Amino acid sequence: MDLQKVIKTAKALVADNKGLLAMDESIHSCNKRFALLGIPETVEARRAYRELIITTPNLSEFISGLILCDETFRQSKRDGTPFIKVIEDAGIIIGIKVDAGEVDFEGHPGEKIAIGLDGLSERLAEYAGMGARFAKWRGEIIIGKDIPSKDCIDANAKSLAKYAALCQEAGLVPIVEPEVIMDGKHPLCRCLEVTKEVLLSVFNQLQLHNVALEGILLKPNMILPGLNCAIQESVEEVADATVRFLLKSVPLTVPGIAFLSGGQPYQLATEHLNAMNAQFKDKLPWALTFSFSRAIQQPVLELWKGNKNNVEKAQAALFHRSKCNYAACRGEYDITMEYS
């Protein structure tokens, strides 16, 4: 294991206030988003969309790493250049999603467990050989009546830790993503309570599996009220609750925390990240950045709509959202950026 290499990559991913772009939606999730906009659910449409993203000029000014899914990892530009080469040439670090999605957690109605540990070492070795330098695994925790159970939290934490240990063994930085899902009417304090339990279990399992915390990135949810909760806290309240909680729960040796957006409106996700850095940046032991998918891609997809004539304006939107989130990492985002 070359731990120094892993640590160096982890630091590079969060250096210079840059963030990550998750473009690793499974074929199923990508198709669902395409269907809503009337975009054909085909291999070629997914390829064309991903080509649009990775060929956006100067994306590396704001984005340090791109997370791909297996399909995208093996695809090429229309002119035959492998995507991996395009991304490397752009100076962006390549990541790969390696969980195989989630299935029902047996004996626990309404709960899910991420799968994909079978044959994972072999897959990681192949991805690393092809140019990947980091990986991602997402374990989903659902809030509902009497859930999540401790069993589900611990089982997902254990899988995340096994995956993280295998990644470091293969020379890849593991992005550890325990996502407490936003759907529901629960208040912010319930999200806080569950996320607390989840991160406690995750760091406990990481330690049991001898994962070097200097060589991981944490990708958590922000501390938010459920999407359908009647009381929606202010941007400052969310930022405050999230950072105070993370300061108590995330060891100082972790180099960076890169949030998922979780279905928040994209501008609000940027405002939350900005408020956290504006208020706390000087006091934080780790970088606080983004690893958004929907909160960067949504406006891009809506402009593109599967039409090649829209590529340029969709790329401009991708560049813009990335720039706004980069500003948020410095606490320098301002709403007027949206109109400039």
Distance CA(196)–CA(190), nearest Å, equals: 10
Question: Per CB under 6 A, which region of 57-65, 115-123, 292-300, 307-315 contacts ligand 13P?
Answer: 292-300
Q: Which of residues 98, 222, 260, 318 is near ligand 13P by CB under 6 A?
A: 260
- Cβ-in-10-Å burial (0-12, 13-18, 19+) of 145 comes to exposed
* 243 lies in the site for ligand 13P, by CB under 6 A: no
Shortest distance (Å) from residue 23 CB to ligand 13P? 9
Q: Which of residues 294, 300, 324, 333 is near ligand 13P by CB under 6 A?
A: 294
Q: Which of residues 72, 201, 205, 261 is near ligand 13P by CB under 6 A?
A: 261
User: Measured from the CB atom, is 37 or 129 closer to ligand 13P?
Assistant: 37
Are 197 and 155 a contacting pair, CB within 8 Å? no
Shortest distance (Å) from residue 282 CB to ligand 13P? 26
| SS3 assignment for the chain | CCHHHHHHHHHHHCHHHCEEEEECCCHHHHHHHHHHCCCCCCHHHHHHHHHHHHCCCCHHHCEEEEEECHHHHCCECCCCCEHHHHHHHCCCEEEEECCCCEEECCCCCCCEEECCCCCHHHHHHHHHHHCCCEEEEEEEECCECCECCHHHHHHHHHHHHHHHHHHHHCCCEEEEEEEECCCCCCCHHHHHHHHHHHHHHHHHHHHHCCCCHHHCEECCCCCCCCCCCCCCCCHHHHHHHHHHHHHHHCCCCCCEEEECCCCCCHHHHHHHHHHHHHHHHHHCCCEEEEEECHHHHHHHHHHHCCCHHHHHHHHHHHHHHHHHHHHHHCCCCCHHHHHC
User: Measured from the CB atom, is 51 or 177 closer to ligand 13P?
Assistant: 177
* 295 lies in the site for ligand 13P, by CB under 6 A: yes
* 22 lies in the site for ligand 13P, by CB under 6 A: yes
* 262 lies in the site for ligand 13P, by CB under 6 A: yes
102 carries an active-site annotation: no
User: Measured from the CB atom, is 1 or 136 closer to ligand 13P?
Assistant: 136
User: Measured from the CB atom, is 177 or 271 closer to ligand 13P?
Assistant: 177
Question: Per CB under 6 A, which region of 8-16, 35-43, 114-122, 254-262 contacts ligand 13P?
Answer: 254-262
Q: Which of residues 293, 315, 322, 325 is near ligand 13P by CB under 6 A?
A: 293
- Torsion over CA: 221, 225, 226, 232 (sign): negative
User: Measured from the CB atom, is 224 or 314 closer to ligand 13P?
Assistant: 224
Question: Per CB under 6 A, which region of 115-123, 203-211, 225-233, 260-268 contacts ligand 13P?
Answer: 260-268
Q: What tokens does 20 get?
A: 């990550």
Shortest distance (Å) from residue 134 CB to ligand 13P? 13
For residue 297, the tally of other CB atoms under 10 A from its CB is 25
338 carries an active-site annotation: no
User: Measured from the CB atom, is 1 or 224 closer to ligand 13P?
Assistant: 224
Question: Per CB under 6 A, which region of 37-45, 69-77, 153-161, 256-264 contacts ligand 13P?
Answer: 256-264
Q: Which of residues 127, 292, 319, 326 is near ligand 13P by CB under 6 A?
A: 292
The single residue of 25, 51, 177, 179 carrying the catalytic annotation is: 177
The single residue of 219, 248, 302, 305 carrying the catalytic annotation is: 219
Residues tagged active-site? 177, 219
Interacting residues toward ligand 13P by CB under 6 A? 22, 138, 177, 260-262, 292-295
